[in-house]
Amino acid sequence: MGFWQDNRFVVTGGSGFLGGFVVDALRQRGAADITVPRSAEYDLRTHDAVLALLDDAQPDVIIHMAAVVGGIGANREHPAEFFYDNLMMGVHLMHEAWRAGVKKFVTIGTVCAYPKFTPVPFKEDDLWIGYPEETNAPYGLAKKMLLVQGQAYRQQYGFKAIYLLPTNLYGPRDNFDLETSHVIPALIRKFLEAKERGDDQVVAWGTGSPTREFLYVEDAAEGILLATEHYEDDEPVNLGSGMEISIKRLTELIAEHTGFSGEIVWDTSKPDGQPRRSLDTSRAREAFGFQAQTDFEEGLKRTIGWYQEHATQKA
């Protein structure tokens, strides 16, 4: 308990989807001094805001997960923003954290940093064998530069920076906005609304052939905190479930669990994204004992149930 009680924490992005669960898990571990900076008060893209945050919070540990994120559509429409905003937030924050004497800096990267044709399962040592999938490359590369920065600062200054690569996340409190959401919340909303309207079909993007790996958000939060306490190396670490599923099968499962019995129509004019995505999770297991616990279909049911309750409350 001493690690959690004795240190002051800053969790950037702590009011977001994953961040909220990380803050909950921190409190459960006994952390009492947690600062969650809001963008209205601290625009981390600017140097002055980063300095103000560090001066106000005086953190010992920073968990940096603030990011501008979205699905394929959002990445295609805003590549410059996704590159600039994500790069600037991280670069300023890590540099000034080193200057301020922060004890540990935990960067939450992205599976989008991997090359488009990485051999499956993705191993951390393959991060540099090619260019990321084009639709999300600006975002993936911006986040990947924080791995380079952390390794460089450790080499030159002895700065304790670690870098984690969570796979696609899902779970309660996700973003269900169809303009910016990822595949699972988007499909849940599409199927439930189609069912409510009595539609006889739902249109899904692409061909359905790509595969993805999904990690339940509470499992991801647990992995992040295990690494925060125990991992001390500069090599990146995957956080995943080890379960690979095709988008077609995923779509069918969500239709089944939402009770939609109509036709699924594939719009092949829309991009598929990366062909396959599945992680080798052995390094996390060996380095700090992380292994996902949540059964995928059980996690889907919880996510669907949360959205149904939330949508009803909003209505």
Residues noted as catalytic = 139
Q: Decide: 23 and 35 in contact? Cβ < 8 Å.
A: no
- How far are the Cα atoms of 222, 225, 227 from residue 89, in angstroms, in the given order? 24, 21, 22
Helices (H), the chain: 2-6, 17-28, 47-57, 72-77, 79-100, 137-157, 183-197, 217-230, 247-258, 282-288, 296-314
d(CA 46, CA 39): 11
Query: What single DSSP character describes residue 238?
Result: E
Q: How far is CA 184 from the centre of its chain?
A: 13
The three-point CA angle 295-73-193 to 5° equals 60
Distance CA 12, CA 268 (A): 37
